Amino acid sequence: MDLFGKQYHEPGTMPGTLSESIPAKYSTLLVDYDGQSYTEEENPIPEQCKAYIDSPSITWIHIQGMPSGDMLQQLSECFGLHSLHLEDILNSGQRPKLDIIDQQLFAIINLPSVINSTVTVHQLGIFYFDRMVISVCADQANPFPLIYERLRKSTGKLRQRGADYLFYTLIDTAIDHGFPVLEDYAERIENLEDQLILKPDASLLNDIHQLRRELLLLRRRLAPHREVINELLRDDEANAISESTRIYLRDCYDHTISILELLETYREMTAGMLEVYLSSQSHRLNEVMRVLTIIATVFIPPTFVVGVYGMNFDRSASALNMPELSWPFGYLFVWALIIGMILGMLMYFKKQRWF
């Protein structure tokens, strides 16, 4: 995930300017359905879409990938989309939000996904008005295969209910994509915790830091969902969400909160892990230094003693000059002294529990 992760125009540019920041590459799928009928149309041109405006059935146009400014412009002319929203779609990295203009709702949802432990976040923009839902997902992989399956079966709730339920379904699916991501994080944290106990080496610090960085960035991208869903639930302006769909939306709200609480919990957990890592590292070093210092300390006084008897005082000059050297048991005495010193120190250190 990028630190800045946002595309923007030069300050002062006209709002709603549709310049393409990355090359357009997209496919479109139009689905028109009601309880009885179901039509699918691949890559329709905007003109073709227009035909569905007044149909009593529900129409869902899903654009996968990054559309071109031209195409959006044409869509906007067909359906009266606001240019600010089109700009938001072209400039990825927007903050999730809900915008209600008259009877038209526009939501931006961030859709996280994890592939090989790499988390990416893609932007999903959804328009909903009348009996029409238009969604644009900047990711390459379509996040809605299960929705198509459910739509194709004539019996599902999705076919029976209105466009607001489709709108909810898309948002809910996008938000639920957070669960596998968080499950992956939980696994990574548990792995790191195991490593922390079994084999705490230096690379762990970077792993923990990397994890915290990702959780921090991910939280920034997902936290505004709480407001978005909350606004949808309140929504006293457009009155676009029916009472029965609202029950499902409340469930979706709970999921949003769950995800954010898990993120927060994981962040606090990694902070705790960092503390444990740091203190276990310093503890380990201390152990090493202690043992090494004890070895050195134990040998320094004996080294002094043998130094003493390496002095060259002239024993012939005086009987007081190093008489020990000619004691018959002098050498043994020195060894006894040295061994005594070493044992004494070791016992003292042991008693003090220094090793």
Please give the residues from 21 up to 80 whose contact with a second copy meets the rule CB under 8 A.
none
Which residue from 21, 77, 304, 340 is in contact with a second copy, where contact means CB under 8 A?
A: 304
Indicate which single residue of 51, 71, 114, 217 sits in contact with a second copy (rule: CB under 8 A): 217
Binding mask 221-260 for a second copy (x = CB under 8 A): ---x----------------------xx-xx--x--xx--
Among 36, 47, 236, 296, binds a second copy (CB under 8 A): 296
State how far the Cα of 176 lies from the Cα of 253, in Å rounded to an integer: 11
Instruction: Give dist(CA 110, CA 276) in Å, integer.
Output: 33
Q: Please identify which residue in the block is written with the tokens 């070791």.
A: 346
Q: Pick the binder of a second copy from 6, 43, 194, 237 (CB under 8 A).
A: 6
Q: Within the chain, how many helices (H) and strands (E) appear? A: 11, 7
Contact window for a second copy (CB under 8 A) among 62-70, 72-80, 115-123, 301-309: 301-309
Q: How many residues bind a second copy (CB under 8 A)?
A: 121
- Is 350 near a second copy (CB under 8 A)? no
Q: Which string of x and - marks every residue 116-155 that binds a second copy (by CB under 8 A)?
A: ---------------------------xxxxx--x-----
Question: How do strand 104-115 and strand 97-101 relate by DSSP bridges?
Answer: antiparallel
* 191: contact with a second copy by CB under 8 A: no
Beta carbon of residue 47, minimum distance to a second copy (angstroms, whole number)? 26
Q: Does 344 bind a second copy (CB under 8 A)?
A: no
Phi, psi (rounded to 5 degrees) for 301: -60, -45
Say if residues 144 and 173 touch (Cβ distance below 8 Å). Answer: yes
Using DSSP's 3-state secondary structure scheme, residue 235 falls into coil
Q: Which listed range, 33-41, 47-55, 133-141, 314-322, lies at the site for a second copy (CB under 8 A)?
A: 314-322
* Distance (Å, whole) CA 89 – CA 111: 14
Distance CA 267, CA 119 (A): 16
Find the angle CA(80)-CA(240)-CA(231) to the nearest 5 degrees: 100
Element holding 125 (H helix, E strand): strand 118-129
Q: Work out which of 77, 183, 194, 237 binds a second copy, going by CB under 8 A.
A: 183
